[in-house]
Structure 1
């Protein structure tokens, strides 16, 4: 029989201390996990390991303790204390903050508060936002006109083709003699089935900006679209489907027709069932300048991939620019018999700036630079500008990123200082506002305002890699993905609680319970323009809660190209900053 050797006391003591250490490090058994509480607002997709991580608690809890619980093992992995109370009138809430930034272990978790419950589940991992990023671009595929969406690529959202637009009649407002043109391809603009040049080319500029900065973000075969596997980035393939249509809308004289629409919005039917006659409507300086800017960008983007196509884009850009110089103030308003989206703009200074900037970067011709008064540039970000004004910032982004100026050049220094000043003001504002996002006025498409402001912060971070700018971008994404006063992830199909009843004709008519995925809902809109259209808001609703998941709510719950564009940019930017 083997005998046990008596151990010295010091070894017994070491063993005892080691046992205590192991017990202390072992995760504690956690609570029973239930459905996510709408009173715990959190990014429902997740967080980067080294990123800021905050949740908002919208009711007063019975305890100030919170815990992170592993969704698989149901064990508590982190504990913390809630903050003091914050009073946020824009949301009509008094809240506390749960800050778990220091916890970095990858996994899937919920945030738990005793007697209140747990949050929706979320992940911590290095590529946590990539599925939403790719989904935001795949969402554009579901908006394609003129082609059937087959089950292989569209899954349960497959459908017949609608609107081939092979014979589109000229409306008298186009200035053309009676006749037709072919204007195929492109995406449906929003919840309706029409196509608009301004709201095609402006968002294309935002999508192209992501590619110019991070061309490897979405490679070939990433999106499962018909072009996948052709050796070209799926991202560029999808954008080209829209750009191909825009090129058909240029008149022989270089000007751009304003839109291709029916005279009235169609009903809530599938695309192939929407058969009202469609028209080429109007011509405008704003549409022409946005097109000139966008196609100048496209020249740079496609130059190494498809040189012939790139050259055609630049030629079209210069032709459009010449028309605009000859027709500098052709403003658009709907003809009396047309009642679809107007996209009117009575001040085209921002469009002029963008067009001159992109053509200067693409051609190097100083004549375009001479047309810009850089000293007078307006660096103030204003919510609600979107497609009427934000494009001026796109011009600044391109000039600062392109190497067109030496960094010692006074023009470069002026633009850099102005952009950083704008970013600092947005950060100052977001530090004082509910849910750490940078806007305090909620217009139609307010979610795109949050994301456009975040684009300025992202550009600032690339000019000056101060972590405060990156943190601001991440918190804007948190807001969009669930850390907001209504407790929804605003992107369809992504998150535990997302919109089901968006104002989107295909989603309303296809008999599928879930809407088309990857589309960004417009967000809170304190103007409440749709209350006579069957939309019901809570009485005396706070500005940040002026959003409802109701199909009639075109003012708060529609989708639109110029809302998805900055979403894609911000998600792509963040994925490229992940460790």
Structure 2
């Protein structure tokens, strides 16, 4: 039993049986047995720490970092057995702590947690950092110290004369295909995994326009009176536009034949090729380009019209070529991004083209489609674009028939209710219980679904579930890491990312999301070592060789940016 008493604006807790002894001074060490959001919490948010212990402990305290004073105290619940994490845990709930400040959680038997803050806009630096990470991924540009600080580097991959691979349908010739972002820890560029993340990035801009302003990110385009966010997205969109063939179809990827070694971009000089063409790349591009037309219209109508025309051509090619599956040619071993079912891609392309053009040709097709609202772990770049189409239609209620709108609303809310319910009972309070490649993106994609439900109905449990997804990737997880490089006191230091491995700088490039636990651990065949009999939620290792658990990727950063931007806007 406890009670809170305000003293000079600070909450001080007195136990009914007398004042609790003050905590000893913090010697700068932190207990990784106390798992919490290492960045911090919004004042009104649920705040829970997971304590890993088999000991009988009952109380915790929140210590104000500057004064060393106890400002909150409470009882620890549990124990609970969490099978997915392979742990016995207890829970410290300090949601009643709402005063802004810098704090640490203290447990006498374990010591101090990592520090955290409670304040408005607490996640703004991580939000901006997740976008600035895209600048560090730019191909075809030297990163100058003025913008990149210690991560400056020479220009790599101008891609001004890329050879056509025979799989492209071209027997000879070159393509000028500059700009764009490196997709992941490698130096290749993929149309599927450029277009799908762009759709997630564009959604944030459509729902929360100008959530990033000119100058927020300190990039070369800062100061041009256009949002730094749109400037960064245009750098990628400019590249994807170059990958469209004259007939409207999209080449699948720009790549070397094999992955480069762990070297800097300007040292990765193997021949690059324009490889393949397919329905998935063409439809994903059509969806992203149609969305780009809406987003860029207020700023550059000529560019917006170019994007829309390209989207229409890509869709028309796909209608004429509805089953062109991309498979790596025998001499190409880089990322395949393959798919055999294009229903989700067709749905996304039609939704974006309809919302942009209001052409009933696209709507007629949508009205005839049976929509699946089921979310499955690993959906990612093969199926999640179905939800992206649903989100856009729900955002444009006036453009669609009431029957379609009501069906979409009901289906989405039902899925969101199921996911939010899972977050209340799942280990570490997130919605995913199947840990596949890029599981952190699954956590954030499910949070995106719940975020759309919150935009439809302002239920506190929806917002709470989205916040706890952010807590998960920022430290409240089974390995006790903040999964975003450069943020938190225990972030990944050895991500599978060629520049970070080769630049001679201790700190990896900041703002990149590690893939997260992956129970399949495909990289074990290449010598990566995980703990013996590792639990699903602990199938992760901070090692640069671990491409299965510790690589970075555009389609993992994009839902991170969306969720952080959503929370910054909706937690005001």
- After TM superposition, the score normalised by the length of structure 2 is 0.96
C-alpha contact 2:53 2:89 (8 A) present in aligned 1: yes
Q: Distance in 2 between matches of 1:126 and 1:216?
A: 19
Partner of 2:470: 477
C-alpha contact 1:62 1:114 (8 A) present in aligned 2: no
Q: Distance in 1 between matches of 2:527 and 2:155?
A: 30
For the pair 1:49 / 2:43, whether they are aligned, the reply is yes
For the pair 1:348 / 2:342, whether they are aligned, the reply is yes
Q: Distance in 1 between matches of 2:391 and 2:339?
A: 22
Selected match of 2:115 from 107, 116, 121: 121
Partner of 2:234: 240
Selected match of 2:448 from 448, 455, 462: 455
2:88 is paired with a residue of what secondary structure?
Answer: strand
For the pair 1:572 / 2:543, whether they are aligned, the reply is no
For the pair 1:553 / 2:565, whether they are aligned, the reply is no
Which 4+ stretches in 1 moved above 3 angstroms? 19-30, 403-406
User: How many pairs were matched up?
Assistant: 560
Partner of 2:485: 492
For the pair 1:535 / 2:528, whether they are aligned, the reply is yes
Partner of 1:261: 255
Change over 3 Å in CA distance of 1:418–1:180 after alignment to 2: same
**Correspondence 1:502-513 to 2 at 5 A:** 502-513=495-506
2:327 is paired with a residue of what secondary structure?
Answer: coil
Per-residue Cα deviation, 1:518-540 (whole angstroms, up to 9, x for no partner): 00000000001001223110001
* CA drift at 1:50: 0.7
Deviates more, 1:420-429 or 1:328-337: 420-429
Partner of 1:297: 291
Partner of 2:354: 360
C-alpha contact 1:64 1:82 (8 A) present in aligned 2: yes
Partner of 1:441: 434
Per-residue Cα deviation, 1:446-484 (whole angstroms, up to 9, x for no partner): 000000000000000000111110000000000000000
Q: Distance in 1 between matches of 2:55 and 2:62?
A: 16
Partner of 2:165: 171
C-alpha contact 2:11 2:99 (8 A) present in aligned 1: no
Selected match of 1:215 from 186, 189, 209: 209
Deviates more, 1:485-494 or 1:63-72: 63-72
C-alpha contact 2:450 2:466 (8 A) present in aligned 1: yes
**Correspondence 1:139-288 to 2 at 5 A:** 139-288=133-282
Partner of 2:304: 310
Q: Distance in 1 between matches of 2:463 and 2:24?
A: 34
* CA drift at 1:25: 6.9
Change over 3 Å in CA distance of 1:132–1:22 after alignment to 2: closer
C-alpha contact 2:12 2:70 (8 A) present in aligned 1: no
Q: Distance in 2 between matches of 1:578 and 1:61?
A: 36
Selected match of 1:135 from 104, 110, 129: 129
* CA drift at 1:41: 0.3
Q: Distance in 2 between matches of 1:502 and 1:555?
A: 11
Partner of 1:517: 510
Partner of 1:377: 371
1:372 is paired with a residue of what secondary structure?
Answer: helix
Change over 3 Å in CA distance of 1:22–1:193 after alignment to 2: closer
Q: Distance in 1 between matches of 2:378 and 2:539?
A: 15
Selected match of 2:417 from 424, 434, 454: 424
Q: Distance in 1 between matches of 2:43 and 2:275?
A: 50
Change over 3 Å in CA distance of 1:394–1:566 after alignment to 2: same
Change over 3 Å in CA distance of 1:337–1:143 after alignment to 2: same
* CA drift at 1:376: 1.8
- After TM superposition, the score normalised by the length of structure 1 is 0.95
C-alpha contact 1:169 1:278 (8 A) present in aligned 2: yes
**Larger Rg over CA atoms:** 1
* CA drift at 1:24: 11
Change over 3 Å in CA distance of 1:576–1:20 after alignment to 2: closer
Q: Distance in 1 between matches of 2:133 and 2:347?
A: 30
Q: Distance in 2 between matches of 1:63 and 1:448?
A: 34
C-alpha contact 2:123 2:568 (8 A) present in aligned 1: yes
* CA drift at 1:314: 0.3
Change over 3 Å in CA distance of 1:284–1:109 after alignment to 2: same
2:397 is paired with a residue of what secondary structure?
Answer: coil
Partner of 1:415: 408
C-alpha contact 2:367 2:404 (8 A) present in aligned 1: no
Q: Distance in 1 between matches of 2:360 and 2:282?
A: 21
Q: Distance in 2 between matches of 1:214 and 1:25?
A: 35
C-alpha contact 2:394 2:409 (8 A) present in aligned 1: yes
Per-residue Cα deviation, 1:253-285 (whole angstroms, up to 9, x for no partner): 000000000000000000000000000000000
C-alpha contact 1:61 1:116 (8 A) present in aligned 2: no
Per-residue Cα deviation, 1:336-382 (whole angstroms, up to 9, x for no partner): 00000000000010000000010110001111011125662110100
